[in-house]
Amino acid sequence: MNMVDSFEKIPVKIFESLQEGSYFIAQEIAKLIRDKESKGEKCVLGLATGSSPKTLYAELVRMHRNEGLSFKNVIAFNLDEYYPIENNALQSYKRFMKQHLFDKVDIDPKNCNIPNGEWKKEEIKKRCAEYEQILEEAGGIDMQILGIGNNGHIGFNEPGASIFSKTRLVPLDNSTRIANAQEFQNISKVPRLAITMGISTILKAKRIILMAWGQLKAPVIQKAVEGHVTEQIPASLLQQHNDCLFVLDTMAASELTRFKSPWLAGECEWTPQLTRKAIVNMALKLEKPILSLTNGDYNDNGLSDLLVEKGDAYEINLQVFYMMRDSITGWPGGKPNTANLATIERALPYPKRCLIFSPHPDDDIISMGGTFMRLHDQGHDVHVAYQTSGNIAVTDEFVTRFLDFAVGFEELAGIDSKKSSQILQNATRFLDDKKNSEVDTPEIRNIKGLIRRCEAKATCRYVGIKNENIHFLNLPFYETGTIEKKPMGEKDIQITLDNLKKVKPHQVYCAGDLADPHGTHKVCLDIVFESMKRLKAEGEDWVKDCWVWLYKGAWQEWDISEIEMAIPLSPDQVMKKRFGIFIHQSQKDMVPFQGNDSREFWQRAEDRNSATADLYAKLGLTRYAAMEAFVRWRF
């Protein structure tokens, strides 16, 4: 048994990306289906919904179309369904399965079993018992596919669910309702109940594969794989199954000891980055400034190897302290007229052309408002490219307010333009009759996009950016009118390439959000990465001289030990940034699809920036009011 095994109690397979992980699982499923088929047997699959298995299902559909994979011998049992919910509601899992898999392959509809959100409440117990029985009669599940909730749920077995539980009606945990609010307009529309297979139903499967992608899942994966078996983390109960595999991408695996603290899991190569990570984590854990760490602290915290290799604690402390100190600069575009070559950005050329990519119309000011203002104030030629329209996050009430204004303006100005009045009338009528889950008409979407565009322009004016430096890319992948976006497409890349070629920046800033692999920010990032790689391959001269800096979007911050450039903000700059965020009035108070954090964007930004400053101070560096953090992408 090696050290990794002793920490990890469930076998884990890690892939570079969710795509590769999903292809692997698809292969496993296909092998099983074909193997069963060759023996003339049925193949019983337990299936999950949610964002995690979408790429897996897309790959199975591709294999069906291109490689003749048949689902004729498959009997499917889905894990769960909201309750109550109409079968064809946008958010029902029945609809999800039809859309992503069942309607696209040759499975017999009679073999598609899924708890029904329309069952009468008084019949649910009986129906659930029948569900278990049909499953048993089908011979039990050959392979169960699972996702995992941030609270460790599997199916909708929330923390506390018994290991003996069977298919039943359950209340949804508040954290699950918040996490899933993204699929609904807002939290109040998320059903309070669900029907789910039980833990014992899941554990009876002959083989189980659980998949998890993205950094948000990393903490719970660590607990499920390395922690104690506890009903408080339902996925940890899978440790008791004898053929269970976790398939992860590198992000979801990142909290496992072998990555988080590799020195504890065996031998490791002490690069400067790893040394910094180990020392910073130790200092924060012991609540000591870096320069106060002793040889004894190193020994007590599993870092004696580092002492053997690098010498005394004092020397190592200094080295890490300097690395942290040198990541702080008030000159994000480099400091001109300086002999100090240790600054983070190049002093020359000065001034620089800086291009900030903002996935939504407010990410620039929320995530890097202080840096944005500094770049402009320090004389650089700052451009902003708003990647998407952000139209989905404007409420209907907000649009109505603007429609009222437009009608009033027409009256006031005595305008009798039939065309514009018609647009206003159509828009008003549509909103008056709009049903809960109805998708906005292109007209309404345009108005919502316009509202956000005006807010972005006002922010740029506030910072002092020239009109011609504001670019609205309106990337098409975003324009579905629903929370579900299209994947990155060639058109998105072409638009971005054109923008980059026009500006020819020395510096690019973009949202390096890797946390949510399905989110808009990640797609926006992939589009910039792909565009930059192509420009480099094309040999564009200016690209060699272009540095790319990643900021984090509204949800998370870089790990303190990763930060390569930290821009301090004075209390006045914090206030100036706050007012810049306030300009985005459509995003204040409750916005649709807010996600699982009820704080307003300016509060999140301030909490985050002051937390970064606080961590630097705890490590023994100067205490600033706030700090914005960046990591460089080397391509």
- Subset of 34-53 contacting ligand F6R (CB under 6 A): 48-52
Q: Give whichever of 155 and 332 is closer to ligand F6R, judged by the CB atom.
A: 155
Cβ 48 to ligand F6R, closest distance in Å?
4
Q: Give whichever of 179 and 403 is closer to ligand F6R, judged by the CB atom.
A: 179
Does residue number 80 form part of the binding site for ligand F6R (CB under 6 A)? yes
The most distant pair of C-alpha atoms in the chain lies apart, rounded to whole Å, by: 84
* Calculated CA dihedral for residues 399, 402, 404, 407, nearest 10 degrees: -120
262, 253 contact by CB (below 8 A)? no
- Helix spans in 14-118 (H): 18-38, 54-67, 93-100
Site string for ligand F6R, 115-154 (x = CB under 6 A): --------------------------------xxx---xx
Cβ 214 to ligand F6R, closest distance in Å?
8
Does residue number 91 form part of the binding site for ligand F6R (CB under 6 A)? no
Q: Give whichever of 91 and 531 is closer to ligand F6R, judged by the CB atom.
A: 91
Cβ-proximal residue to ligand F6R, closest one: 147
- Helix spans in 138-245 (H): 174-180, 199-203, 218-226
Q: Give whichever of 8 and 80 is closer to ligand F6R, judged by the CB atom.
A: 80
Residues 6+ apart with CB under 8 A from 129: 166, 167
Does residue number 194 form part of the binding site for ligand F6R (CB under 6 A)? no
Decide: helix, strand or coil at residue 421.
Answer: helix
Query: Which of 158, 345, 455, 606 is flagged as catalytic?
Result: 158
Q: Give whichever of 163 and 431 is closer to ligand F6R, judged by the CB atom.
A: 163
Q: What number of chain residues touch ligand F6R (CB under 6 A)? A: 14
Cβ 277 to ligand F6R, closest distance in Å?
27
- String of DSSP letters for 324-351: HHTTB-S-TT--TT---TTSSS-S-SSS
Cβ 149 to ligand F6R, closest distance in Å?
4
Q: Give whichever of 219 and 620 is closer to ligand F6R, judged by the CB atom.
A: 219
Element (H, E) at 631: strand 626-633
What phi and psi, each to the nearest 5 degrees, are found at residue 303?
A: -115, 25
Q: Of the candidates 155, 390, 449, 505, which one interacts with ligand F6R according to CB under 6 A?
A: 155
Cβ 173 to ligand F6R, closest distance in Å?
10
Cβ 273 to ligand F6R, closest distance in Å?
30
* Calculated CA dihedral for residues 331, 335, 340, 341, nearest 10 degrees: 90
DSSP 8-state secondary structure symbol assigned to residue 386: E
Cβ-count burial of 448 within 10 angstroms (0-12 exposed, 13-18 middle, 19+ buried)?
Answer: buried
Other CB atoms within 10 Å distance of the CB of residue 158:
23
Q: Give whichever of 50 and 334 is closer to ligand F6R, judged by the CB atom.
A: 50
Based on the residue annotation, tell me whether 118 is a catalytic residue of this protein. no
The single residue listed with the structure tokens 């101070």 is: 617
Cβ 114 to ligand F6R, closest distance in Å?
10
Report how far residue 371's alpha carbon sits from residue 330's, in angstroms, rounded to the nearest whole number: 9
* Contacting positions for ligand F6R (CB under 6 A): 48-52, 79-80, 147-149, 153-156
Please identify every residue annotated as catalytic.
Answer: 158
